[in-house]
């Protein structure tokens, strides 16, 4: 039985977790996320979420995150190194038996109508990783000082200039 706590705000445009098989996450098992076309041009902050149990055998986790932006077919590949356990053997994440971690990935400038396909896989030496239960992706509109989106202005009761 798992408990999922989700916190969203009006800037979150995508937030989803994929479960990993109980037997472990295989190196060739890629988790996929499809982000629908954007409703506006903006900067978007991405975070990767990882959930583990006490059965995870390593201090860290290395992930390869490959993103393809459509319709331009632009591909961006990042490696994310996640520190999960400190030198004393204590989990750095939040939780008691299951631990939740959030890692900033990148900021993307996406234009109105662009969509993104994200593929995440681990690149650890061990073929099958036990103890990882879920991996997720969150995409949020970035707040830029001095620049407001049309939605921000409408919420404040202002009409955007054309």
pLDDT tens, position by position, 22-50: 899 999 999 999 999 999 999 999 999 99
Residue 134 — pLDDT band, cuts 50, 70, 90?
A: very high
Q: Is the pLDDT of residue 3 over 60?
A: no
Distance, in Å, from the CA atom of 105 to the CA atom of 151, rounded to the nearest integer, reads 25
For residue 86, the tally of other CB atoms under 10 A from its CB is: 10
Closest CA to 137 of 38, 40, 51, 28: 51
Where in 20-149 does DSSP place strands (E)?
Answer: 25-26, 31-35, 42-53, 60-70, 74-83, 98-110, 115-122, 128-129, 132-141
Query: What's the whole-model pTM score?
Result: 0.81
Please report which confidence band the pLDDT of residue 97 belongs to, taking 50, 70 and 90 as the band edges.
confident
């Amino acid at each position: 039985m798992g408990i999922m706590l989700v916190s969203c705000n009006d800037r979150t445009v995508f937030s989803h977790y994929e479960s990993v098989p109980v037997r472990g996450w295989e190196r060739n098992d890629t988790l996929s996320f499809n982000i629908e076309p954007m409703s506006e041009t903006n900067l978007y902050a991405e975070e990767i979420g990882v959930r583990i149990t006490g059965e995870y055998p390593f201090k860290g986790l290395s992930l390869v995150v490959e993103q393809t932006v459509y319709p331009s077919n632009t591909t961006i590949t990042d490696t994310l190194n996640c520190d999960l356990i400190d030198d004393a053997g204590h989990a750095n994440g939040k939780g008691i038996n299951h631990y939740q971690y959030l890692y900033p990935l990148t900021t993307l400038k996406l234009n109105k109508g662009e969509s993104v396909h994200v593929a995440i896989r681990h690149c650890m030496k061990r073929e099958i990783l036990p103890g990882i239960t879920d991996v997720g992706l969150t995409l949020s509109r970035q707040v830029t000082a001095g620049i407001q989106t049309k939605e921000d202005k409408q919420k404040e009761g202002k009409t955007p200039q054309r």
